[in-house]
Amino acid sequence: MTSDREAQPPTPETIVRRPRRLRGHVRVPGDKSISHRAILHNAIADGTARVSNLGPGDDIRTSVACARALGVRVDELGTHAYAVHGRGAGGLCEPDDVLDAGNSGTTARLLSGILAGQPFLTVLTGDESLRSRPMDRVIEPLQMMGARALARRGDDYLPMAIRGGDLRGIDYTLPVASAQVKSCLLLAATFADGVTRLREPAASRDHTERLLAAQGADIAVAGQDVELRGRRPLRAVDVDVPGDTSSATFWIVAACIHPDAEISVSGVGLTHGRTGLLDVLDLMGADVRVTNQRIEGGEPVGDVTACSSRLRGVGIGGSLIPRLIDEVPILALAAAFAEGETVISEAGELRYKESDRIAVVAQELGRLGVRIDERSDGMVIHGTGRVDGGAADSHRDHRMAMALAIAGLVSRDPVEVLQARSVTISYPSFWDELQRVSQD
Ligand code: S3P
């Protein structure tokens, strides 16, 4: 299938050359995960919430558009500032057309949880990538709670049709650590009779738990277990969205692997479930400092400064994986500059992201001269200390496009990023920032 994006010739900024120096202070856009929740949680709350520094990417526009299609008024107040007029627990309306979650797995999964609590019919679809990502992980437990949901290929793939209402709490162990699944079920649980108990095999990001608690939900978290008693009204909560942790990691790694670099990123979200890459960089010996740690809008944030570093290879698996699940493309690039091998294992979930990030990382960084062996649940990256350059394709995966662009900042020859526009999913100003920090 050819899309408008594919049909466009490469624009000049898709070719990235190594600058002499990397310097600068960056403010990354509002966090994508928290932005989705700020819109969707407040859509089912009583009252009006003000959301500032909302993420500017296409995925967040998608969540806003879906909320509006369900009858929620969302007003733009200023740059990245919105008012969400909540409809309360029973106030959403049946949409008169199919809802399109675009490329956004988080919209599709979180919205499914909300829709499971609604007595009307919704049909939900997504783009080609999202239609190939598994939905049975949410459909099965939602059916156990009492929702009627049907989807393609044995209730696994979008489009799906869902008619909810009359939910009951469940006791459920998630087969994989997934904040999207956990959040979907917690949102559904707010509409359910009784208590829902969830258990994760490893801890994933906790933005949903934090926001639900602030909204007055009857929620208790103990390690990897979370419990929520349903049918308590949620109140609207203002959210000042912190800087996106995952977006920040591109600049942090760029600074670590460039020979003459210092970049600082301020106001970065630092909740434990998102800081796996910072922990790994520390193990690798990177020169990264976190300062000015504080709580803003119920989330821990801080300023991060990274400088040119000598890295060593490490082994990564287990409970670290969910804490860096979105950072593997950029981590693989960092590992190419480390001394020795880096082994990433127990990361099979990467195959179900915006692209199959095990295959695509191995193939596309491989095209640039990085030596990577693909494994079923991860990869081995051989630290050679160099990237040759050339052309590589993002497969329309925003994090791949950005990782390939950062490879261009440190490669011998320029890197041409194909399908580079996908950065707009989470970071529309990425290319401008890249130019700003590159100095000759
Ligand atoms: C997200 C959770 C992660 C992550 C995704 C955003 C979220 O997915 O990969 O980009 O906002 O909850 P899983 O928790 O399903 O691994």
Question: Could you report the per-residue pLDDT of 75-125, keeping only the tens digit for each?
Answer: 999 999 999 999 999 999 999 999 999 999 999 999 999 999 999 999 999
Q: Is 103 in the pocket of ligand 1 (CB under 6 A)?
A: no
Q: What pTM does this model have?
A: 0.96
DSSP string computed for 208-269? HHHHHHHTT-EEEEETTEEEEE---PPBP--EEPPBPHHHHHHHHHHHHHSSSEEEEEEEEE
Ligand 1 centre to CA of 178 (Å) is 6
**Span(s) in the chain for CATH 3.65.10.10:** 14-30+243-439, 32-229
Ligand 1 centre to CA of 204 (Å) is 8
Residues with a known catalytic role: 326
Q: Which atom of ligand 1 is nearest to the CA of 180?
A: 12
Give residue 11's pLDDT: 56
**8 A C-beta contact, residue 237 and residue 214:** yes
Q: Is 324 in the pocket of ligand 1 (CB under 6 A)?
A: no
* Distances, alpha carbon 71 to alpha carbons 68, 102, 188, in Å: 5, 19, 18
Mutate to test the pocket of ligand 1, among 136, 178, 356 (most ligand atoms within 8 A of CB): 178
Q: Which atom of ligand 1 is nearest to the CA of 36?
A: 11
Which listed CATH number (3.30.70.270, 3.65.10.10, 3.40.640.10, 2.70.98.60) goes with 32-229?
3.65.10.10
Strands 21-26 and 261-269: parallel
pLDDT digits (tens, 9 = 90+) for 251-296: 999 999 999 999 999 999 999 999 999 999 999 999 999 999 999 8
Ligand 1 centre to CA of 419 (Å) is 23
Q: Is 118 in the pocket of ligand 1 (CB under 6 A)?
A: no
Q: Is 106 in the pocket of ligand 1 (CB under 6 A)?
A: yes
Distance of alpha carbon 182 from its chain centroid, rounded?
14
- If residue 109 lies in a helix (H) or strand (E), which one and from where to where? helix 105-115
* Residue whose C-alpha is closest to residue 426's, from 73, 98, 36: 36
Q: Is 33 in the pocket of ligand 1 (CB under 6 A)?
A: yes
Q: Is 342 in the pocket of ligand 1 (CB under 6 A)?
A: no
Mutate to test the pocket of ligand 1, among 35, 180, 319, 321 (most ligand atoms within 8 A of CB): 180
Percent residues over pLDDT 70 in the chain: 97
- What mean pLDDT do residues 225-245 have? 98
Give residue 331's pLDDT: 98
* DSSP H stretches of helix in 258-326: 276-283
Q: Name which CATH class applies to 14-30+243-439.
A: alpha beta
